[in-house]
Amino acid sequence: MTLDVVIPVLNEEDALQSSLTRLHAFMTTQMEDYEWTIVIADNGSTDRTPEVSRSLSREFLRVQYHRIEDRGRGRALKSAWLESDSDVVVYMDVDLSTDLKTLPALVSSIAIEGYDVAIGSRLKKGATVVGRTLLREAISRVYNSIVFSLFFVSFRDAQCGFKALSREAANSLLPVVQDTGWFFDTELLILAEKNGFRIKEIPVHWVDDPDSRVRILNTAFEDLKGLLRLRLGGLHTARKKLQERP
């Protein structure tokens, strides 16, 4: 089985070297059942992220650097996941806030158990969260309850930066997901669940990293706009597009 682990990055010159070294060591020892590659997906970085990434890809044979000119985290993920032809694709945040010990279970949910989508969760029973500010915690809970009351979905945490898709799910769903920013994750999950894809939600151990690219007010507003777009027709249009696919 082939596996691509995508790390979306925006101006991460400080975090990249140590995170990638840690992840690479983990993959080497714990994920040897897979033929894996780590892909750094950068768009919009204006610091030394490109240089650091290129140097990492020279240092490690199985690290690649993928640069997209247009901005947006969702766009970077979609582009890197669709460019890949691996059986399983994963993404995780560069800060490794989610404990890597959950990675084997995330991947085997798809590779062995046959789920279409697997997601880390900070809100499911069994999860532990350390160091998250009250504000982020509250926004996360309120946001996920809004998602639930609008769509009656079964997952609890749409926004954890730790997700995996099967090749088939990626090829079907990604072309239909419109958001190119932070709402991308929620849109992907709602479209997946509402179109019969099976989602496994796994509680994670999360240690928050206060260094954040999120502009809270702006992102919250964009998220609400995205939810309304889906509720007022977007979901219906996406379903039609998915059914038209061969």
Ligand X SMILES: Nc1nc2c(ncn2[C@@H]2O[C@H](COP(=O)(O)OP(=O)(O)O)[C@@H](O)[C@H]2O)c(=O)[nH]1
Please report whether residue 38 would count as binding ligand X according to CB under 6 A: no
Reply yes or no on whether 95 is catalytic. no
Site for ligand X in 53-82 (CB under 6 A): 71-73, 76
Q: Which two tokens stand for residue 147?
A: 């998602």
In terms of CB distance, is 79 or 86 closer to ligand X? Answer: 79
Q: Which stretch binds ligand X (CB under 6 A): 20-28, 35-43, 98-106, 193-201?
A: 35-43
**Listed ranges 148-156, 170-178, 190-198, 205-213: which one lies at the site for ligand X (CB under 6 A):** 205-213
Question: Does the footprint of Mg ion cover residue 99 (CB under 5 A)?
Answer: no
Under the criterion CB under 6 A, does residue 41 sit at the interface with ligand X?
Answer: yes
Catalytic hit among 95, 185, 211, 223? 185
Residue 12 binds which of Mg ion, ligand X, none (CB < 5-8 A, kind-dependent): ligand X
Neighbours of 245 (CB within 10 A): 9
Residue of 13, 95, 99, 222 that binds Mg ion (CB under 5 A): 95
Task: In angstroms, give the least distance from the CB of 129 to Mg ion.
Answer: 12
Using CB under 5 A as the binding rule, whether residue 209 contacts Mg ion is answered as yes
Taking the complex as a whole, the smallest distance from the CB of residue 219 to ligand X amounts, in Å, to 9
24 binds, among Mg ion, ligand X, none (CB under 5 to 8 A by kind): none
Look at strands 117-121 and 162-166 and give their pairing. Answer: antiparallel
Q: Could you list the active site residues?
A: 185
